[in-house]
Amino acid sequence: MTHHHARVLTPEEYLFTEEPYYEPLGEEIAVFEAAYRNGLPVLLKGPTGCGKTRFMEHMAWRLQLPLITVSCHDDLTASDLVGRFLVRGGETIWVDGPLARAVRNGSICYLDEVVEARKDTTVVIHPLADDRRVLPMEKVGELLEAPPEFCLAMSYNPGYQSVLKDLKQSTRQRFVALEFDYPDAALEQKIVEKESGIDSQMARQLVKFARMTRNLKGQGLDEGASTRLLVHAAKLMVADVSPVIACRSAIAQALTDDSDMLSAVNELSASLF
């Protein structure tokens, strides 16, 4: 698929020339590739900071496809995804949104934290996420057909959603789902070392600390420390910040604003470092 390299990429499209570092947890690479070859959209489920976005970057590199990532939020409208008319220099022109651009160009469109988007927004992806693989652009009266290269993926964090923010069955049942979680201790240690350059002893302690905070999930913490936060703390330590301060700044403060919980998390790190 060499034609991808010739075209000009729009600002939010990214074509990876070097392999993004990713450690597989199971069969997710093979399943994603099989889904992609069959034109099936993919849903990544798992806690924040456990590697879902990195996995998408890795797959874009493997498939040699540009990646367009849309961070979903509750103000995200269907027009933000599909496109809108804008007035430029006195004339009205149509500008494709990121989803339409991905369909037109045969890129991967990754909707990150899709349950944050409004319900009426997610409905626009339905015709793209089944056998039709089309994007109706009602405002311009166009039906965009997705080329074989186009791939739709989205992520969500099932542990964090409320009753209001669950994925509707009509959306969910169109997708092949891949489940992600934090890696086991040995693999997580390896990831922290590789991403930050920290020594193995410190990386091991950080992973132990993360496990402790994950045990507090539901007891005052919405989420435990993610692999991403461990890497942040490790990078601070490599830059000569003391371990206790690094854990406080990169992990505890990121997890909670509650003063009792902060003391509890800081005590855990002080017991290890």
pLDDT in tens, 162-171: 555 678 888 8
What CA–CA distance (Å, rounded) separates 243 from 234? 8
What CA–CA distance (Å, rounded) separates 242 from 93? 55
Mean pLDDT (whole number) for 122-148: 94
Res 8 pLDDT > 70: no
What CA–CA distance (Å, rounded) separates 222 from 117? 20
- What pLDDT shows up at residue 1? 39
SS3 content of the chain, % helix, strand, coil (to 5): 45, 20, 35
Task: Count Cβ atoms below 10 Å from residue 47 Cβ, excluding itself.
Answer: 20
What pTM, to 2 d.p., does this model score? Answer: 0.91
Res 4 pLDDT > 90: no
Q: Structural domain boundaries of the chain? A: 3-179, 185-272
Name residues whose C-beta falls within 8 Å of residue 37's C-beta, 6 or more positions apart in sequence. Answer: none
Q: Would you place residue 11 in the very low, low, confident or very high pLDDT band (cuts 50, 70, 90)? A: low
- What pLDDT shows up at residue 148? 97
Res 212 pLDDT > 50: yes
| Structure token digits, residue 204 | 């091991």
- What pLDDT shows up at residue 226? 96
- What pLDDT shows up at residue 130? 92
Res 182 pLDDT > 70: yes
Mean pLDDT (whole number) for 55-81: 95
Q: Would you place residue 122 in the very low, low, confident or very high pLDDT band (cuts 50, 70, 90)? A: confident
Angle of helix 200-215 relative to helix 259-272, nearest 10 degrees, comes to 150
Percent of the chain at pLDDT > 90 equals 81
- What pLDDT shows up at residue 3? 39
- 3-state secondary structure at position 81: helix
Return the amino acid letter for 176: V
Instruction: Name the CATH topology of 3-179.
Output: Rossmann fold (3.40.50)
Q: Which helix (H) or strand (E) holds 111?
A: strand 108-112
Residue 256's alpha-carbon distances to 68, 249, 269, in angstroms, are 31, 11, 15
Q: Say which residue, 156 or 162, is predicted with more confidence.
A: 156
| Structure token digits, residue 236 | 């601070």
132-141 residue pLDDT tens: 999 999 999 9
Q: How many angstroms separate the first and last alpha carbons of the chain?
A: 50
Mean pLDDT estimate for the chain: 92
Q: Would you place residue 161 in the very low, low, confident or very high pLDDT band (cuts 50, 70, 90)? A: low
- What pLDDT shows up at residue 100? 97
Highest mean pLDDT pick, 33-42, 218-227, 264-273: 33-42
Mean pLDDT (whole number) for 79-102: 94
- What pLDDT shows up at residue 205? 97
